[in-house]
Amino acid sequence: MKATLVLVALCATALWPSPAPSQPSAIRVGSKSFTESYILGEIVAQIIDGAGEARPERRFGLGGTGIVYGAIASGDIDVYAEYTGTIAQAILKTPAVTSVEPLRAALAPLGLTLSGPLGFENTYALAVRRDAAQRLQLRSISDLAKHPTLRAAFDPGFLERPDGWPGLKAHYGLAFADVRIMEHALTYPALANGRVDVIDVFSTDGQLARLDLVLLDDDRRFFPPYAAVLLARRAVAERFPRTWAELQGRLVGRIDTATMTRLNALADLDRRPFADVAATFLGDTARAPRAARSGRELLTPGRELVTLTVEHLELVVIAVAVAMLLGVPLGILAARRPRLAQVELMGVGVLQTIPALALLAFMIPLFGIGTVPALVALCLYALLPIVRNTHAGLASLDPRLVEMTTVLGLTGWRRLAWIELPLASVTIMAGIKTSAVLTVGTATLAAFIGGGGYGTLIVTGLALNDVATILRGAIPSAVLALAIHAAFEGLDRLVIPRPLRGGP
Amino acid sequence: MISLQRVTKRLGGQVVVDDVSLLIAAGTTHVLLGSSGSGKSTILRLILGLLQPDAGEVKVDADTERPSRSIGYVVQEGALYPHLTVARNVALAARAEGWEDARQRTRLRALAELAGLDGELLDRYPAELSGGQRQRVGLMRALMLDPPILLLDEPLGALDPITRAELQTQLVRIFGELRKTVVLVTHDVREAFVFGAGITLLNHGRVVQHGTFADLARRPASPFVAEFLRAQAPPPEMTREL
Ligand SMILES: Nc1ncnc2c1ncn2[C@@H]1O[C@H](COP(=O)(O)OP(=O)(O)O)[C@@H](O)[C@H]1O
Ligand SMILES: [Mg+2]
């Protein structure tokens, strides 16, 4: 198994020069895959561009904290917007440390640094309707304890996390008449329609700007502070001092909660491109920011489709080709050595049970982010059907036909190339076809680690909760899967000897 | 010449060939006779070198480096490769030897003639042939390199009686012309009678009797021999009717 991993890695790196060292004058800006993070990434990129010291390179939509932090730790990105609470809990595992100074000190040995707080917090909060707030005199969370007849709807995450409802309930001694679990997006209409009275929100949620809601003050300090900051590689901050100063000057203390909420609403509710939203903010806070030149967002839909299709095809074709080059020999090896086969098939099978996102995340420390780790992960995923079918195809050949090869003096490669592989070709090709079609789907996850392809739209669409954008990625992906299937049916005619092909 | 001396072979924990000794002179035809499971095919595999004996010794006058040059092997239904044309199937051993195409074609034509196969069939695939034709192709493939030894494992087993009788006669003629050392496996007493100068009757992996058909019929070594022959003989009333 280890050997397989090493082989795959070697092969992938041989095919693809190791993560292209970005050009010396580029600063790589990352983001997680939710609206606020995209907007802050875009703002940072535009400021870098304006400072003129280095070119910004956008690596947005890199999944959650694990992936984007992995990327900055391994030097694949240089800066992104993070929250103090996340840094303390998820990254440094020191939940008690909450203010910027000690966090910055703790990050220094890791080669990282922090900006000052940007001015807003994105933390859990409880929201109520303004009319209810006035009627019941609700200003803070403690006020809720006096009204046990209220009904609440909470997101499943909030309901289960110790720093969510369970902790909050104990901390404030709260009790509600009814607590429902609801998908986060649905809690807003439920609150607006008066079906519930209290919901959990993120404090900068764009919806808050549009619905007439009141956020209750966390007067007894339960929620840990999630102040937004920029997390950056120290070397980069030192290398481009003017840019770093400009970022701090234009952002630290400049984005209050109301501003961030409004920006989120522009993207989430008005469907404005992230680059526009960022430019709006920069236009508000300073004169004449340079025009936004955000790569993907300004493409026409046609160009976008072509670019994404090329990226996606590249991922699928290379991953499946490498998986074939490795998988067929591995399958042959397994068929030759029944005892090795056990271990090998189990190893490839275990790979398949790793959730695709986790496998992608494992790739980051090894290969960074972008196309290479995506290819390696996809290739590992593509292996199983190929290895298994090659092994099964060869192991199930009529033993009399195999025995006859020896009698006829066919040994080594002749036996394989003239007899065994052609006889097993139907099964082997079926495995390759399965693998290719699966890979088209799995490749949409590559966008989570900056691998590009149709997944870029799906990830963005998920962040915006925008079905149309998700479909712009999902539909071409389904079409591509069908096209790949058809292409392989064609390949069958070339590879499988006529008498072995089914049908008329 | 082929010789087995006190050969024993176990397969799957069971003695399949039990202390068998056998001597087959060069240029003669020999029949291994016995009911299904008596160890006949295993003896052929031992001669082919596909299996090694657990005890005893197998000696074959053959090129030990390249046994394919010395021994041809025909099995029931031919065991032809379905993805290759008849010509490709037959020429496999020659291709492995690096024969030129022209030489392969000449040999193919000669073999088709010998085996009585229509030359047009050479470009067909096995699935497009009749059982008798497939059997002829199997024989051609075994003879491609003109090996001095020919082993046939129930070559006519899967054929209808008419085709079977026809091929039987032709095989007897071919063996006569070729003067090869032939070992033919069958469970059919009449086939043994038609082919065999020498017959070895096997039961449960043991040799029951060596001899000509006349020896077996007139001087059976044990009641089993007489019983084996009688079980397959047509009843006298039927012979009279015919
Ligand atoms: N590879 C094997 N593994 C285990 N048993 C085998 C194997 N090959 C043959 N046998 C057994 O050996 C016995 C003799 O087989 P075989 O030589 O094919 O007999 P025959 O050709 O006379 O019918 C049979 O009982 C068969 O089941
Ligand atoms: Mg047999």
CATH assignment at residue A196: 3.40.190.120
- Ligand 1 atom with the shortest distance to the CA of B35: 22
Last residue of a domain, one of A294, A310, A332: A294
Report in angstroms the alpha-carbon separations of A283 from A115, A253, A275. 21, 17, 12
As beta bridge partners, residue B181 has B149
Indicate left, alpha or beta for A232 from its phi (over 0: left) and psi (-120 to 50: alpha).
beta
For residues A171-198, average pLDDT: 85
Q: How close A331 gets to chain B, by Cα (Å)?
A: 21
Residue to probe by mutation, ligand 1, list B14, B42, B46, most atoms within 8 Å of CB: B42
Nearest to B142 by CA among B213, B94, B195, B90: B90
| Residue B208 token pair | 């029951």
- A-chain CB neighbours of B127 within 8 Å are 499
Q: Are A231 and A112 in contact (CB under 8 A)?
A: yes
Give residue A290's pLDDT. Answer: 39
A114 and A130 share one domain = no
Q: Which helix (H) or strand (E) holds B16?
A: strand B14-24
Nearest CA in chain A to B128: A499
As beta bridge partners, residue A127 has A199, A215
Q: What percent of chain A has pLDDT over 70?
A: 91
Q: Lowest mean pLDDT: which of A302-311, A330-339, B127-136?
A: A302-311
For residues B53-76, average pLDDT: 90
Return mean pLDDT, chain A.
Answer: 86
Tell whether ligand 1 has an atom less than 6 A from the beta carbon of residue B44.
Answer: no
A111 and A146 share one domain = no
Q: Are B190 and B21 in contact (CB under 8 A)?
A: no
Whether A489 has a pLDDT exceeding 80, the answer reads yes
b (16+ CB within 10 A) / e for A478-493: eebbeebeeebeeebe
- B-chain CB neighbours of A398 within 8 Å are 79
Q: What is the dihedral of CA B222, B224, B228, B231, to 10 degrees?
A: 120
b (16+ CB within 10 A) / e for B200-233: bbbbebebbbbbebeebbeebeeeebeebbeeee
Distance, in Å, from the CA atom of A381 to the CA atom of A439, rounded to the nearest integer, reads: 8
Nearest CA in chain A to B145: A408
Question: Angle of helix A2-15 relative to helix A338-353, nearest 10 degrees?
Answer: 70
Give residue A353's pLDDT. Answer: 87
Say which of A408, A410, A500 has its CB closest to residue B82.
A500
Q: What is the tens place of the pLDDT at every residue in B147-156?
A: 999 999 999 8
Whether A477 has a pLDDT exceeding 50, the answer reads yes
Confidence of residue A12 (pLDDT cuts 50, 70, 90): very low
- A-chain CB neighbours of B139 within 8 Å are none
Q: Quickly count helices (H) and strands (E) in chain A.
A: 24, 10
Tell whether ligand 1 has an atom less than 6 A from the beta carbon of residue B34.
Answer: yes
Would you say residue A235 lies in a domain? yes
Say which of A409, A414, A499 has its CB closest to residue B82.
A499
- Ligand 1 atom with the shortest distance to the CA of B14: 5
Give residue A300's pLDDT. Answer: 60
Distance, in Å, from the CA atom of A388 to the CA atom of A348, rounded to the nearest integer, reads: 9
A182 and A315 share one domain = no
Confidence of residue A284 (pLDDT cuts 50, 70, 90): low
B71 touches chain A (CB under 8 A): yes
Q: Is the pTM for the entire model greater than 0.80?
A: no
Q: What is the tens place of the pLDDT at every residue in B85-136?
A: 999 999 999 999 999 999 999 999 999 999 999 999 999 999 999 999 999 9
Q: Which helix (H) or strand (E) holds A334?
A: helix A301-336
- A-chain CB neighbours of B51 within 8 Å are none
Q: Of how many residues is chain B composed?
A: 242
Whether A295 has a pLDDT exceeding 70, the answer reads no
Q: How close A396 gets to chain B, by Cα (Å)?
A: 15
Tell whether ligand 1 has an atom less than 6 A from the beta carbon of residue B39.
Answer: yes
Supply the CATH number for residue A236's domain: 3.40.190.10
A94 and A143 share one domain = no
Q: Which domain holds residue A173?
A: 124-215
B1-61+151-242 — its CATH code?
3.40.50.300
State whether residue A301 is helix, strand or coil: helix
For residues A258-278, average pLDDT: 91
A147 and A94 share one domain = no
Would you say residue A9 lies in a domain? no
